[in-house]
Structure 1
């Protein structure tokens, strides 16, 4: 069980300097990724997105890469290959247009010309370093999320047990409350008929009793609640992620609980329904942070 909240980091050292990667995440309904890279590595951003996207299903994730270059890769190194290609293209265009030759000094201000530090390593070497960094950072991040997720799951199951206990009490109390409600209704009908000088037709009363039972009976709702609770407890035996499944089951439990609340008139049962809904809301708040 993973929480959507977590933090992980990794560091790589070489004669070129030190790279540090940090990954942080918070809960979010969908999958959202933000990648912050040094300017010289900006074109690697889609690659980082693809790598991180496969590591989680939902949440808001921020990945940041910081580089401390060594003296060998000091600031304002010239990217020679890029500058030479740029100069050739600009000189060729100037010749075609009959313009004077370009001053090389002006090209030093073009973005990327003075970002030659990354040119110290070729693309394959960079990808190997980045892959190692992101794998270790994700592993550290997942360890953090797993620890938080296990704690939250314990809290969730505690609240679910409270809800289940309330439902068991409600189920036990419902039988007596139903019989009292039927008996009270019969007494009221008998009194009204007596005032009008009429007798209670037992066969007609039996028909009315069936209709009242259909409107009042909550056994069907209680049965569905027990089924949903079983699904809730078994959800971790299936392939993850589980957060959305748990959220859906909570919605179904809340719907059945509300239906019971609309059917019962007994004050004690209504109080139980309120307590059950309160426990469900606590569960819902906790699982909002589970992936």
Structure 2
């Protein structure tokens, strides 16, 4: 089980380039990748994305790629002869008309404009340097996974402890069931007898007991307790898994919360309500932790 937060950094170089890749991850329902890298190497972005997706499956991940040229190639120089000729012709015309035919030289043109002179970055063969990127990426992913695993282990210990506390609470709630049902029957029987007494009628005792028993079933929360215990077993099972369990846990916590709410509404008992509130508090804390699980 892994956390979704983490940091990883990898650096690798050969005789031509040095590549450093840093990645930071925070909680996110799905995987979101934001990659910032030099424009000259954008052709490798898809490969970086594919490599990251093979290892990370959830979280918002910011990736920063830095490339250092160890043996810089010469820039490409391009002369726009048409623009240079136009500049010279224009200056020749001005010199001839106003300055007695002074000679137009290259330094003179360069002092006025360099739009005809184009210096472009050297061509980069991105595929040729991919092995360096791949090594740096692996180092960053290894660091990220190690941090996520460590944080995931801490979360697992916390959730297992909370799961044990919830199991103890549901046992305490179940121990109250017979008293809750008995008190409900007693209250219901008293109300019915009071109504008959007010109407000066004598109730049929067998029918009275049957009706009281039927309505008392409505406060019996045995099924909810059984299902909650089953969810606790599932929760522990998920926590012991190494795969991506975040979404499964999120759904399971919703189901546990639903069972607890039903128990509280059925029991309508102060002692049970106290345990229900404690259970809901533990479930909420687990829900918060689950949001950070991959």
TM-score with structure 1 setting the length: 0.83
Which position in structure 2 is the counterpart of 1:221? 224
- Mapped partners of 2:127, 2:200: distance in 1: 100
Structure 2, gaps ≥5 residues long:
87-113
* 2:2–2:153 contact (8 Å) kept in structure 1: yes
Match of 1:108 among 85, 104, 118: 118
CA RMSD of aligned residues (A): 2.6
Q: Larger deviation: 244-253 or 263-272?
A: 263-272
- Mapped partners of 2:155, 2:3: distance in 1: 8
- Mapped partners of 2:252, 2:43: distance in 1: 43
Which position in structure 1 is the counterpart of 2:170? 167
Which position in structure 1 is the counterpart of 2:101? none
- Mapped partners of 1:47, 1:271: distance in 2: 55
Structure 1, gaps ≥5 residues long:
none
Distance 1:261 1:11, change over 3 A: same
- Mapped partners of 1:263, 1:253: distance in 2: 16
Match of 2:211 among 205, 208, 212: 208
Which position in structure 1 is the counterpart of 2:189? 186
Which position in structure 1 is the counterpart of 2:49? 49
User: C-alpha displacement at 1:259, in angstroms?
Assistant: 1.0
- Mapped partners of 1:269, 1:207: distance in 2: 26
- Mapped partners of 2:142, 2:193: distance in 1: 73
Deviations 1:102-143 (A, max 9, x none): xx964736xxx31x2x73xx4443111111111121111100
Q: How many residues align?
A: 267
Deviations 1:13-39 (A, max 9, x none): 333353211111001111100111012
Residue 195, structure 1, aligned to residue 198, structure 2: yes
Task: Summarize the alignment of residues 1-291 of structure 1 with structure 2, pairs less than 5 Å apart.
Answer: 1-70=1-70, 72-73=71-72, 77-78=74-75, 80=76, 106=116, 108=118, 113-114=120-121, 116=122, 119=124, 122-236=125-239, 240-291=243-294
Distance 1:54 1:202, change over 3 A: same
User: C-alpha displacement at 1:194, in angstroms?
Assistant: 2.3
Q: Larger deviation: 265-274 or 220-229?
A: 265-274
Give the SS at the match of 1:73.
coil
Greater radius of gyration (CA):
2
TM-score with structure 2 setting the length: 0.82
- Mapped partners of 2:53, 2:118: distance in 1: 37
Give the SS at the match of 2:176.
helix
Deviations 1:55-88 (A, max 9, x none): 1111101111112333x317xx42x4xx78xx9x
- Mapped partners of 1:180, 1:194: distance in 2: 21
